[in-house]
Structure 1
Amino acid sequence: MIESVVRYIKNGKFANDLVFEKILEEQKGSFVDLEIIENQIFKETLKEMGISHLYSHQAKAYKLIKEGKNVLITTPTASGKTLCYNLPILEDIYLNGSKALYLFPIKALGYDQKEKLEDFANKIPLFDFKVEVIDGDTDKKKRRKILTNPPDIIISNVDILHYSILPKITEWETFLKDLKYIVVDELHIYRGVFGSHVRNIFQRLKRFLPHLQIITASATIGNAKEFARDLFDIDFEHINENGAPSSKKYFLFFNPETVPAANLSSYFMKIFIESGIKTLCFTKSRIQTETIYRRLISDVNVKKDSISSYRAGFLPEERRAIEKNFRDGKLKGVIATSAFELGIDIGGIDATIILGFPGSLMSLWQRAGRGGRNGNESLIILIATNDALDQYFVKNPDKLLSSSFEDALIDIDNEIIQKQHIQCAAFEKPISNSEYYYNHYSRIIDNMLESKELFQDEENRVIVTFKNYPHKEVDLRASGNTYTIMMNNIIIGTNSAKKAYTENHIGAIYLHRGETFIVEKIDHSKREIHVKPANPNYYTRPLVEKQTAILKIHKETNISNFNCKYVDLLVTEHLTGYEKIAEKTGEKLGKVDIETEPIQFETKGIVIEIPETQLIGNLMGSIHAIEHAIIAMIPTEILCDRNDIGGISYPAHPQTGKISIFLYDGYPGGIGITKRVFDKIEKILQITLLNIKNCQCETGCPACIISPKCGSGNYPLDKNGATALLEFILNKKSDTKKVSNSVHKDDILVFDIETKYSANEVGGWKNAHKMGVAILVAYSFKKDDYLIFYEKDMRFFEDIIKNAKALIGFNIINFDFKVLSAYLSINKKHSIILDILHDIKNITGKRFSLNNIAKATLNIQKCADGLQSLQWYKEGNFDKIIEYCKKDVEITYKVFEYGIQHKKVYCDNKGLKITIPVNWNYVFM
């Protein structure tokens, strides 16, 4: 059947779009006799199950686990990794009454494993075996019952380990006293910021159970042993030789030119379903998943109940029903995001369609491995999109089969995450200054003692926290609180706060199981997103303004004609609106401005500094294009998603004074991506240059420099300029003349404005641009003097701020800049911007007035208020407005000065003077 379908496709109407094909021949297995198993009953049981031998890697795992070794297994998908640990662990439970804790990253894998364990144990005579699942769906009553008489194996996840086991360890004592094994499946999932949290969770667990035996299994990654050691802080015996046989696979790679890639996926899905071929289609986004599903169910020849979409955001009961129906054969096709990439048992898949290179070779072959699980032939179809990474492999298809797998990584030095877990550790058990945990984190713990985040006993022997259950403040996936998506007060989905900021804003289009909705209201207090049914002809794309400031330089290197620094960064991202994009043509239909609060975080990043150079073309367009192109190529070297990386470019950054391209980890504290990029920067830039030069487009396209997530709508971009500039910095052309291209910006301004009209007079705060400037006062660090500007002077003020290194104020982002937008254009990339109100709100989660901060910090207060200033304007009394505005600037300056000197300011909170730590020194860097 598969061979005939392959022939049909190769001779069909899209045959010309086939760019690469390969037959992956059947592989013979390597087997070991069952005699290595110690217990005769287990040998006989396996034979009754139809298992007459073990694969060689299963036999090796059995032996090492029985010897008490920590074992890492990285054989391919469908190679029998589960039996590697189930066999020796069940045998030990049967003979010695040991206990095990199995941890899985998703609930479906846990329930799938429970069925397999029970099926195996039920075949063993006189084996009174119990296994239970404890996860977020397990109610307190059932959990207490399980822990009162604990089973042999508990299946759970790292969330339960963090939120329940460690903080409530006495409730788990009966189970933990006999715990010998921890199994961590799908190890590769625990990378990035999630992995940094998991590393710290296991460091805390070791304080109670230092001698656990850990068995872990993973998809194939480039640095598996190093990654496992970083995650668990122990050494492993690594099993990576695969003894399992594999069936014949047909691999076809398409680069569609006459139809969109998603349409080609739908075409193949329809053919396979009509041919009785069980098919799984992987997409790269929720929108793609729902779009393909909607297109298929609108076809009269496709039975709606024979296919389904599957993605994050579905309710648990929806996901489990889809998994069961697919496994039982009721569903013939499923369109899914990466959720089905993991080892959920969904039966034998005949064909796998992968829409778009999934970002890593590891993910590609993990998805491809879902097919042919019953020893039958299978088909893998990879369909390239216009994405730069996809098109890189279109030009180099052999690399799909010959390249090494990417390295997985975590940031083991993320202090933001470490401080959170130290608080949790101190809650779970006082930290002794003689224990390993203290020695491991002594520098951070001492700093936390100094800042009164932790406290010592009278004799300075143990350390405690006064926080009550600090675990709830730890977001393991750095995604923020979960928002529920509601339609007529019925929950239809969920999304993380991090994604909801740009995906589910007011006016955003939301797709769910073939239906289209529009976001009409957001209730942040209840974390609810309310949508209503819609039938638009467009989708939405967010517009985000970004700003970076260098806080600290860790290391730097000079290569060819550029300098690269690995740095700490302060990043500000501000959703300012969205574009409407025509669903069928991709044409921009319009832009909508919206009001949102900026988000701000500290992270790790690199800055590529380029010296003065003569450049033919648009400088901003050239470096913007390079920024996009680098981000697209990073996943060829490092296991990550382009959405994990942010970027911003400056023709002249106010701190470096040079052409500067910033790339940063898109999570607070960093996740280690740009640290690796720094080490490989020259190679990544060379790959980037080749990809741009080899692209056949004239002015730039998604295959080279256009980004699907650009916050400025991919404007401006200059492909030719990007090529020329990359050739220069990589020293590919030696005759480029140097000319001055930098702008020296050295003044720092603290400013405030008083308006002509109130918000009520112009129709609300959304019309701040209509409020008009009565007076603007700015304090100049360079002149050490106050500058006074009337409304007629706004153009003069514009010239001054273009040469300012930094702009400082109180509520300038959401007020002053909006008032000024009626008079001038403020390019926030030209200057460092410190909004003290916003920074303090970002630290505390609360808004405090300037009067509150000034009185608590300096015991000074404002001399009037805004309403009085409006009255003075109506009376024409500009002298009093100037005096009042000048006083506000002086207070703002003194608060800033105090914060610089003392690294803190104060606020009054219900009569208590509270310390707010601040880090404003970057303004001077």
Structure 2
Amino acid sequence: MARRCYSTAVEICQARGVNPGIMSLASTGGPGSEEGGVPSASEQNPVGAVFTTLTPNGVTMAENCGGLILVGFPDTPGEALRVLESVGRQAEPEAFAIFYSLGDSETRFFAHNLTGLLAKGPDLIGVDADISEVVQLHVPHLISESEGRVYSFSREVLGNALFQTLRREGSELAFTEEFDPDEIELRPGTDKCWSLWNDGEQIGFLPSYQGFREAYPGAILAFRDVKYRVSESLSGHEDGASPKVVLESLDELVGLSTQPEFATSLAIRDDSLGLPLATGPSLHLGNVTLEERLVQISLVDESAEPSLDEQVPEERRIRGRLIGTHTPENDVSWHSDAQAFWIDVGSLLTGESGPPADNESVVVDSIVPALEQMLRVGVRFSFPVGPYDLITYSEGSRIFLLEAGPGALGVVKKAFDRWRDILELGASLARQCECEKGCPYCIVPPFSYNKSVDKVAALELADRLLEATRET
């Protein structure tokens, strides 16, 4: 891929009368390798732009060459970030141009926030040491990588709970000398992926929450730059097998999409750890039950101009020309009993610093949901989690964060301790975006949300919340 893009760039330069000699293709292999036989850039032959494959060796070589580094070509932005972290990200973020497919909303989101992605610190490790399966599977590998030694400075990286578990139980756990890190199950037995099938062949997987949200019967699903219609969704296997989704190709209907509407309810089952703050807001860590149900599906032509109906609330307006709506024939629902962190900002919604009392319903309907999304984005830039690993929900003046896979990696517990840092990061990314009201490149989630967001007012609320909880 790097070679093809380099060749294309050279052809464009030649066609426009530009000297292509300022570019080079960095080769990380020998004559017999996949990249062999290609002239390499070097420290003695600095160039203006370097094309290289996305490997630690390739990135390091490109850095030594100087100039703009065109590094590719990962499947996801997360893959690009892991490689850049492996070489220390010594170069300035502006020195990199990372190429990857923009065929899905998740990648477009990270592409828009590339500077923030490169500039942020390393991800926090959120392993919950109370989850015995995680400890049994991961601690042996941690010991193997550290050659059996657990240093005191590891506490900062691992977190105190996992560090103490490692010190206490490490010597009793067996491990193999050689292992493949890719085979480690991050959430063993908690989150069965949905397998995707097209023309009798398995083409990939979706996390279960994404499967519920996007792979319901009749949905138009975009997967790896190709659109499919979900003809069958077998999510209720009794034999313990993973849910199966059968897809039909839709190459000729690329402009169509389905936009679902969900009814959501949340019940607090345990609020044993609540911290009311003297300044008004309160923090909580407990257990909740989340119920979601698909209630309506809209078929939309996104290539057409939207027909706005002022009588319809903004959050329920269709993005494109509405072709038709229908209710699902069968029950499509999601049930989750999970640990959750939530914050109640009710005291900040009224009073001198807050909006007028007669606007309280507007505040709850648009500002609190926008604050919810800032927390969601902040978590994505703080922990190694995917877009469907976590669920956020707002109700009244409360904002909830829970993990889609019960008993996952303990991100909720970590967020309880680091929520201010997470909110500051999410608010910062929202400010950097040039949009006025919020968009999919900052705080509007890629999947159906069914709520409007007021970005400007939410940023003001975030500032008040952070100021009210600042340590003196």
Q: What residue number does 1:702 align with? A: 440
Q: What residue number does 1:805 align with? A: none
- Give the whole-Å Cα distance in 2 for the aligned partners of 1:592 and 1:368: 51
What SS does structure 2 have at the residue aligned with 1:724?
helix
CA apart distance, 1:539: 2.4
1:632 aligns with 2:377: yes
- Give the whole-Å Cα distance in 2 for the aligned partners of 1:550 and 1:702: 30
- Give the whole-Å Cα distance in 1 for the aligned partners of 2:333 and 2:439: 30
TM-score by length of 1: 0.32
RMSD of aligned residue pairs (Cα, Å) = 5.0
**Counterparts of 1:106-121 in structure 2 under 5 Å?**
none
CA apart distance, 1:701: 1.3
Determine if contact 2:256/2:300 at 8 Å carries over to the other structure. yes
CA apart distance, 1:660: 0.5
Determine if contact 2:187/2:407 at 8 Å carries over to the other structure. no
Change beyond 3 A, Cα 1:408–1:580: farther
Determine if contact 1:249/1:380 at 8 Å carries over to the other structure. no
Change beyond 3 A, Cα 1:252–1:548: farther
- Give the whole-Å Cα distance in 1 for the aligned partners of 2:10 and 2:279: 51
Q: What residue number does 1:413 align with? A: 130
1:730 aligns with 2:453: no
Determine if contact 2:72/2:100 at 8 Å carries over to the other structure. no
Q: What residue number does 1:720 align with? A: 456
Q: What residue number does 1:666 align with? A: 404
Determine if contact 1:406/1:638 at 8 Å carries over to the other structure. yes
1:544 aligns with 2:262: yes
Q: What residue number does 2:293 align with? A: 574
- Give the whole-Å Cα distance in 1 for the aligned partners of 2:439 and 2:15: 28
CA apart distance, 1:529: 3.8
Change beyond 3 A, Cα 1:512–1:364: same
CA deviation string 1:151-188 (max 9, x = no partner): xxxxxxxxxxxxxxxxxxxxxxxxxxxxxxxxxxxxxx
CA apart distance, 1:723: 2.1
CA deviation string 1:186-226 (max 9, x = no partner): xxxxxxxxxxxxxxxxxxxxxxxxxxxxxxxxxxxxxxxxx
- Give the whole-Å Cα distance in 2 for the aligned partners of 1:623 and 1:12: 53
Letter in 2 for 1:479: D
CA deviation string 1:711-766 (max 9, x = no partner): 42xx22222321232222223799xxxxxxxxxxxxxxxxxxxxxxxxxxxxxxxx
1:563 aligns with 2:282: yes
What SS does structure 1 have at the residue aligned with 2:435?
coil
Determine if contact 1:77/1:366 at 8 Å carries over to the other structure. no
**Counterparts of 1:384-399 in structure 2 under 5 Å?**
390-394=111-115, 396=116
1:504 aligns with 2:240: no
| Counterpart selection for 2:201 from 491, 494, 501 | 491
Change beyond 3 A, Cα 1:588–1:733: farther
**Counterparts of 1:35-434 in structure 2 under 5 Å?**
77-78=55-56, 248=65, 251=68, 281-282=73-74, 337-338=75-76, 357-358=77-78, 361-362=81-82, 365=85, 380-381=98-99, 390-394=111-115, 396=116, 400=118, 403-414=120-131
Determine if contact 2:274/2:285 at 8 Å carries over to the other structure. yes
TM-score by length of 2: 0.58
What SS does structure 2 have at the residue aligned with 1:664?
strand
Which structure carries more relative contact order (alpha carbon 8 Å, separation 6+)?
A: 2
- Give the whole-Å Cα distance in 2 for the aligned partners of 1:539 and 1:358: 26
Letter in 2 for 1:604: Q
What SS does structure 1 have at the residue aligned with 2:428?
helix
Give the % identical residues: 16
Determine if contact 1:539/1:582 at 8 Å carries over to the other structure. yes
Q: What residue number does 2:367 align with? A: 622
**Counterparts of 1:454-469 in structure 2 under 5 Å?**
none
- Give the whole-Å Cα distance in 1 for the aligned partners of 2:111 and 2:278: 28
- Give the whole-Å Cα distance in 1 for the aligned partners of 2:65 and 2:446: 36
Determine if contact 1:561/1:730 at 8 Å carries over to the other structure. no
Letter in 2 for 1:728: R
- Give the whole-Å Cα distance in 1 for the aligned partners of 2:298 and 2:79: 26
CA apart distance, 1:381: 3.7
Change beyond 3 A, Cα 1:494–1:78: closer
| Counterpart selection for 2:231 from 493, 505, 520 | 520
Greater helix share, structure number: 1
- Give the whole-Å Cα distance in 1 for the aligned partners of 2:224 and 2:422: 39
- Give the whole-Å Cα distance in 1 for the aligned partners of 2:8 and 2:201: 41
Change beyond 3 A, Cα 1:688–1:496: closer
CA deviation string 1:47-90 (max 9, x = no partner): xxxxxxxxxxxxxxxxxxxxxxxxxxxxx95459xxxxxxxxxx
Letter in 2 for 1:519: V
- Give the whole-Å Cα distance in 2 for the aligned partners of 1:528 and 1:704: 32
CA apart distance, 1:568: 2.1
Q: Which runs of 5+ in 1 are unaligned?
A: 14-22, 28-75, 81-241, 254-278, 283-336, 339-356, 370-377, 421-435, 441-473, 652-658, 735-925
CA apart distance, 1:419: 12
CA apart distance, 1:246: 6.9
Determine if contact 1:601/1:668 at 8 Å carries over to the other structure. yes
- Give the whole-Å Cα distance in 1 for the aligned partners of 2:232 and 2:454: 38
CA deviation string 1:550-606 (max 9, x = no partner): 233454443855222222222223233434343546526354321324322222221
- Give the whole-Å Cα distance in 1 for the aligned partners of 2:302 and 2:14: 30
Q: Which runs of 5+ in 2 are unaligned?
A: 17-23, 29-53, 90-95, 138-164, 170-185, 305-318
What SS does structure 1 have at the residue aligned with 2:388?
helix
CA apart distance, 1:638: 2.1
Q: What residue number does 1:782 align with? A: none
CA deviation string 1:326-375 (max 9, x = no partner): xxxxxxxxxxx35xxxxxxxxxxxxxxxxxx4398436656999xxxxxx
- Give the whole-Å Cα distance in 1 for the aligned partners of 2:299 and 2:84: 32
- Give the whole-Å Cα distance in 1 for the aligned partners of 2:111 and 2:325: 29
- Give the whole-Å Cα distance in 1 for the aligned partners of 2:113 and 2:226: 34
| Counterpart selection for 2:390 from 637, 645, 655 | 645
Letter in 2 for 1:405: P
- Give the whole-Å Cα distance in 2 for the aligned partners of 1:77 and 1:10: 27
Q: What residue number does 2:340 align with? A: 605
CA deviation string 1:814-863 (max 9, x = no partner): xxxxxxxxxxxxxxxxxxxxxxxxxxxxxxxxxxxxxxxxxxxxxxxxxx
Which has more radius of gyration?
1
Determine if contact 2:290/2:335 at 8 Å carries over to the other structure. yes
- Give the whole-Å Cα distance in 1 for the aligned partners of 2:266 and 2:453: 20
CA apart distance, 1:518: 2.1
Determine if contact 2:56/2:86 at 8 Å carries over to the other structure. no
- Give the whole-Å Cα distance in 1 for the aligned partners of 2:425 and 2:333: 34
CA deviation string 1:26-64 (max 9, x = no partner): 99xxxxxxxxxxxxxxxxxxxxxxxxxxxxxxxxxxxxx
CA apart distance, 1:664: 1.1
- Give the whole-Å Cα distance in 1 for the aligned partners of 2:101 and 2:222: 23
Determine if contact 1:564/1:608 at 8 Å carries over to the other structure. yes
CA deviation string 1:463-497 (max 9, x = no partner): xxxxxxxxxxx98363326546254xx33535457
Determine if contact 2:198/2:249 at 8 Å carries over to the other structure. no
Change beyond 3 A, Cα 1:500–1:660: closer
CA deviation string 1:99-135 (max 9, x = no partner): xxxxxxxxxxxxxxxxxxxxxxxxxxxxxxxxxxxxx
Q: What residue number does 1:681 align with? A: 419
1:593 aligns with 2:312: no
- Give the whole-Å Cα distance in 2 for the aligned partners of 1:368 and 1:250: 18
